[in-house]
């Protein structure tokens, strides 16, 4: 039987938080941001948390796009706060984006990675973070100036404080396996684009 | 304007192209470095009113330009032909959401190429871009660059299309090995 190397060096604590409580506890007012939400759990929960607001662009494909979309949006709209909410699987697909974002250092961009250590949409296989890869250390090494890891409910207030402050920040929210909050959402991406732009144009 | 600088012999179209893009409202210049795009990259780095965005891989630029459009900004992706292959699945974001998209591809693996590694992707560029819904325009001569780029700007930002301008190896010149 093939065995995958469980990485010992990071020695992360076992996740205990349920994303259905932890994500809304961390992101109290998602409607205050322009949001890009990644494939797929985070797109579902941000859509649910905002009652399908036009200010949330949620991916249903193009896995890996969310962080760089957030960068393009943050550079385009320095007057607005931009929030990327993505999963461990999507972030792992394009780790270089963290380096590209750090080099720009937009003060109005926050990245929250909801890390459940699994590929929840495809049969719950272990992701690399589930085997011990530490995305907070990668973000720090990439040069993101403020990096925070949330393992327990006691860590959430610090995450909330960092979200409220100006400056580029990366927050790793470690959660247990289990489904995200869900809502029926329109998967037509051109509809999401048009209504996002229309809402922003006011 | 002359096609070549009288003193240095360097092509003048890269500077004209940068000025054209800026006049058209392009503010985000995303790129994986390439000799064929050197002037545009250097100009964007020196431009206080533009964002110069080095990427670690080309598909980052596709996602970046989609985000720029969500915010009402215009950007371009500058890459070499080998980078086109890295963009394929990410172009489903452009096609699905009908984002305007404009890329300038400096071609390798065609006219006079001396590095055999460049041929597979270079020869596949137009086919894979077209398969993903990107319209390809080719510039073969220096005097074609600005008219072709002007056409591409209109197609992308007025008509909402995805467009690639292929800066051919005939235009740029084959690198010697």
Task: Determine, yes or no, domain membership for B141.
Answer: yes
Q: Tell me the residue length of chain B.
A: 177
Q: Which of residues 28-87 of A touch B (CB under 8 A)?
A: 34, 36, 57, 59, 61-77, 80
Q: What is the pLDDT of residues A30-69, one digit of tens each?
A: 999 999 999 879 999 999 999 999 999 999 999 999 999 9
Which range is least confidently modeled, A6-10, A37-41, A130-134, B125-129? A6-10
Which band of pLDDT confidence, cut at 50, 70 and 90, is reported for residue A168?
A: very high
Residue A202 has pLDDT above 80, yes or no: no
Q: How many CB atoms lie within 10 A of CB B31?
A: 23
pLDDT of residue A120: 82
| DSSP one-letter code for A118 | E
- pLDDT score at A182: 83
- Tell if the CB–CB gap between B53 and A71 is shorter than 8 Å: yes
Q: Which residues contact B53 (CB under 8 A, 6 or more apart)?
A: A71, A75, A100, A103, A104, B28, B29, B30, B31, B61, B64
Contacts of A86 in chain B (CB under 8 A): none
What is the C-alpha to C-alpha distance for residues A99 and A104, in angstroms, rounded to an integer? 9
What whole-number distance in Å separates Cα of residue B138 and Cα of residue B125? Answer: 12
Residues from chain B that touch A73, judged by Cβ atoms under 8 A, are: 67-68, 70-71
Cβ–Cβ contact B48 with A under 8 A:
no
Phi, psi of A108 (to 5 degrees): -100, 15
pLDDT of amino acid A3: 77
* B5 lies in some domain: no
Cβ separation of A103 and B60 shorter than 8 Å? no
At residue A12, φ and ψ (nearest 5 deg) are -75, 145
Domain count, chain B: 1
As a CATH number, domain A19-201 is: 3.40.50.970
Q: How confident is the model at residue B77 (pLDDT cuts 50, 70, 90)?
A: very high
The predicted pLDDT at position A69 comes to 98
Q: What pLDDT shows up at residue B1?
A: 53
Which of A2-16, A122-136, B80-94, B140-154 is least confident?
A2-16
Residue of chain B nearest A79, judged by CA positions: B71
Q: How far is B88 from chain A (nearest CA, A)?
A: 10
Between β-strands A109-115 and A169-174, what pairing exists: parallel, antiparallel or unpaired? parallel
User: pLDDT averaged over chain B?
Assistant: 95
Domain chopping of chain A, boundaries: 19-201
Confidence of residue B59 (pLDDT cuts 50, 70, 90): very high
The full length of chain A comes to 202
What confidence score (pLDDT) does residue A32 get? Answer: 95
Is B176 among the domain residues?
Answer: no
Q: So what's the pLDDT on residue B99?
A: 98
pLDDT tens for each residue of B109-149: 999 999 999 999 999 999 999 999 999 999 999 999 999 99
Q: Is the dihedral of CA A102, A169, A183, A21 positive or negative?
A: positive
Each residue of A105-115: pLDDT tens digit? Answer: 999 999 999 99
Q: Please tell me which residue, B39 or A181, carries the higher pLDDT value.
A: B39
- Contacts with A, B 105-164, CB within 8 Å: none
Q: What is the CATH classification number for the domain harbouring B58?
A: 3.40.50.970
Rounded mean pLDDT of chain A?
Answer: 94
Give B-chain residues touching A189 at CB under 8 angstroms: 93, 96-98
Question: Would you tell me how many other CB atoms lie within 10 Å of the CB of residue B168?
Answer: 18
**Who among B68, B89, B92 is closest to A72 (CB)?**
B68
The residues near A72 (Cβ < 8 Å, ≥ 6 apart) are B28, B63, B64, B65, B66, B67, B68, B69, B70, B71, B73, B75
Residue B25 forms part of a structural domain: yes
Is B68 within a domain? yes
Q: What is the pLDDT of residues A141-159, one digit of tens each?
A: 999 999 999 999 999 999 9
Nearest-by-Cβ selection for B60 from A34, A36, A100: A100
Q: What percent of chain A has pLDDT over 90?
A: 82
Max Cα-Cα span within chain B: 48
Range 160-189 of A in CB contact (< 8 A) with B: 188-189
Range of the domain at B95: 13-171
> Distance (Å) from the C-alpha of residue B67 to the closest C-alpha of chain A?
4
Mean pLDDT, to the nearest integer, of B52-67? 98
Cis before A40? omega within 30: yes
């Amino acid at each position: 039987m093939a065995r995958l190397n469980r990485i010992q060096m990071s020695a992360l604590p076992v996740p205990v938080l349920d994303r259905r409580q932890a994500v809304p506890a961390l992101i109290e007012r998602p409607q205050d941001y322009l949001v890009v939400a990644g494939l797929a759990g985070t797109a579902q929960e941000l859509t649910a948390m905002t009652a399908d607001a036009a200010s949330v662009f949620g991916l249903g494909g193009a896995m890996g796009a969310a962080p760089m979309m957030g960068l393009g949006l943050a550079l385009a709209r320095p007057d607005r706060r931009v929030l990327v909410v993505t999963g461990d699987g999507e972030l792992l697909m394009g780790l270089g984006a963290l380096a590209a974002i750090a080099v720009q250092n937009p003060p109005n961009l926050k990245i929250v990675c909801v890390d459940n250590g699994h590929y929840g949409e495809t049969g719950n296989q272990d992701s690399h973070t589930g085997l011990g890869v530490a995305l907070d250390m990668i973000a720090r090494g990439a040069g993101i100036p403020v990096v925070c890891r949330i393992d327990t409910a006691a860590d959430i207030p610090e995450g909330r404080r960092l979200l409220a402050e100006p400056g580029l920040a990366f927050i790793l929210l470690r959660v247990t396996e289990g489904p995200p909050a869900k809502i029926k959402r329109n998967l037509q991406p051109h509809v999401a684009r048009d209504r996002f732009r229309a809402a922003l144009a006011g | 304007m002359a096609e070549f600088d009288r003193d240095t012999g360097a092509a003048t179209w890269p500077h004209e192209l940068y000025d054209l893009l800026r006049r058209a409202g392009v503010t985000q210049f995303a790129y994986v470095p390439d000799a064929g795009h050197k002037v545009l990259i250097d100009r964007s780095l020196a431009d206080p009113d533009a964002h110069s965005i080095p990427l670690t891989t080309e598909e980052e630029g596709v996602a970046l330009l989609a985000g720029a459009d969500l915010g009402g900004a215009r950007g371009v992706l500058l890459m070499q032909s080998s980078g086109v292959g890295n963009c394929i699945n990410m172009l489903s974001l452009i096609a699905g959401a009908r984002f305007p998209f404009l890329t300038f591809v400096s071609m390798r693996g065609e006219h006079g190429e001396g590095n055999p590694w460049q041929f597979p992707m270079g020869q596949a560029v137009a086919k894979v871009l077209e398969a993903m819904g990107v319209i390809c325009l080719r510039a073969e001569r220096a005097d074609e660059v600005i008219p072709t780029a002007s056409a591409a700007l209109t197609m992308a930002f007025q008509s909402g299309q995805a467009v690639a301008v292929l800066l051919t190896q005939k235009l740029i010149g084959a690198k010697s090995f």
